[in-house]
Amino acid sequence: MPSNKKDKDNKKQYIYRASMTINGTTYYAKNYGKKAFKIPIN
């Protein structure tokens, strides 16, 4: 049975945020030509 690529990627999970704050500075994805930042979790 061929393996699905989705099965391998299932280990990594991501959340998508329109903005993120690093060291008190807020970064907005739209300022960088993006809809959202991809943030890895776990």
- What is the pTM assigned to this prediction? 0.61
pLDDT one-digit tens code per residue, 5-39: 555 556 789 999 999 999 999 999 999 999 999 99
Residue 1 has pLDDT above 70, yes or no: no
Closest among 17, 20, 13, 22 to 40, alpha carbons compared: 13
Q: What is the pLDDT at residue 5?
A: 57
Note whether 39 and 27 are within 8 A (CB).
no
Residue 42: pLDDT band (50, 70, 90) is confident
Instruction: Go through 6-27 and write b for each residue having 16 or more CB atoms within 10 A of its CB, e for each that does not.
Output: eeeeeeeeeeeeeeeeeeeeee
Amino acid (1-letter code) at residue 35:
K
Domain ranges in the chain are 12-41
Residue 3: pLDDT band (50, 70, 90) is low
Contacts 24+ apart (CB under 8 A), 21-29: none
Q: What is the pLDDT at residue 24?
A: 96
